[in-house]
């Protein structure tokens, strides 16, 4: 393994070395490394959000977005029977703006604030620092804690919110060919550039694809996200076991259909 080369030249060189040694990798593997590699990952090494970043999200556009979610959380707490203690969880809390605005609006219900323990699920040290600053004046009965994964959030009644999370999780892509469905993989060309290639037909297990895609045309691309499915299943178990409610806000189609949604942005514009 060319670790020294990776240290000199960063993530691209590391991934290229990995592919040359073990063969093409899945798009999910490529995305996971690109976004969350501890040393070079996009979210772990830079500030992605805002005018000086690469994209912006609704909480950064208007404080009303977070305030509306805060009031929704209060209403959800009421409908859950006003538990005396509960976990207020946000996964992927960005710069902490949404939670700051939500807690400010939720002050209309002091008992809600007193019962809440805030849990932020965040892998980026840089974003954790920004969240800490944004929430420096926030006060809740159970305090504020940070977690690298949902699994470390203590059990109990919970109200969970996630904005633009599911569409940022790693995906697998499959393309229909005359030989059947084949997974799209990432390879390295002779000139060192990354490129898409197709795996052999045995690389695709048909049961991983929704039945709605069975009639897709030749050349069609479909996407599935085992990471998103696993997260939703984990949250569903928690909601069932401990009583709770979750709100996900994302951009997507109302019905599943073949499409390639994978994209990159840089400085608020599309990028290869």
- 159-174 pLDDT, tens per residue? 999 998 998 899 999 9
pLDDT band at residue 207 using 50, 70 and 90 as cut-offs: low
Model-level pTM? 0.85
Tell me: pLDDT of 264 over 60: yes
User: Is 3 a residue whose pLDDT tops 70?
Assistant: no
Residue 4 · residue 172 · CB < 8 Å: no
Task: Give yes or no for residue 136 having a pLDDT over 50.
Answer: yes
Q: What is the pLDDT of residue 213?
A: 77
How far is the CA of 1 from the CAs of 16, 19, 186, in angstroms?
A: 11, 11, 18
Query: Among candidates 141, 125, 210, 218, which has minimal Cα distance to 175?
Result: 218
Q: Which of 33-42, 47-56, 108-117, 148-157 has the lowest mean pLDDT?
A: 47-56
Instruction: Tell me the Cα Rg of the chain.
Output: 21
* pLDDT band at residue 235 using 50, 70 and 90 as cut-offs: very high
- With a cut of 80, say whether residue 132 has pLDDT above it: yes
Q: Give 206 or 172, the one with higher predicted confidence.
A: 172
Q: 39-48, 163-172, 198-207: lowest mean pLDDT where?
A: 198-207
The mean pLDDT of 260-267, rounded to a whole number, is 86
> Can you give the pLDDT at residue 167?
85
């Amino acid at each position: 393994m060319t670790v020294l080369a990776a240290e000199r030249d960063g993530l691209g060189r590391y991934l290229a070395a990995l592919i040359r040694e073990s063969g093409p990798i899945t798009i999910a593997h490529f995305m996971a490394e690109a976004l969350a590699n501890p040393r070079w990952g996009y979210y772990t090494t830079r500030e992605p959000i805002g005018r000086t970043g690469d994209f912006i999200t609704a909480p950064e556009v208007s404080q009303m977005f977070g305030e509306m979610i805060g009031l929704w959380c209060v209403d959800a707490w009421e409908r859950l029977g006003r538990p005396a203690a509960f976990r207020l969880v946000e996964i992927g809390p960005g710069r902490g703006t949404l939670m700051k605005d939500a807690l400010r609006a939720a002050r209309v219900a002091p008992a809600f604030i007193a019962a809440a323990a805030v849990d932020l699920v965040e892998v980026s040290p840089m974003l954790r620092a920004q969240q800490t600053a944004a929430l420096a004046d926030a006060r809740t009965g159970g305090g504020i804690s940070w977690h690298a994964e949902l699994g470390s959030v203590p059990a109990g009644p919970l109200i969970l919110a996630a904005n633009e999370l599911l569409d940022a999780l790693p995906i697998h892509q499959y393309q229909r060919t005359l030989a059947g469905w084949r997974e799209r993989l990432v390879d390295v060309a002779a000139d060192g550039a990354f490129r898409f290639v197709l795996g052999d037909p045995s690389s695709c297990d048909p049961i991983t694809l929704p039945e709605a895609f069975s009639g897709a045309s030749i050349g069609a691309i479909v996407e599935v996200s085992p990471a998103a499915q696993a997260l939703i299943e984990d949250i569903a178990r928690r909601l069932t076991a401990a009583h709770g409610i979750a709100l996900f806000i994302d951009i997507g189609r109302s019905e599943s259909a073949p499409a390639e949604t994978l994209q990159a942005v840089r400085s608020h514009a599309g990028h290869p």
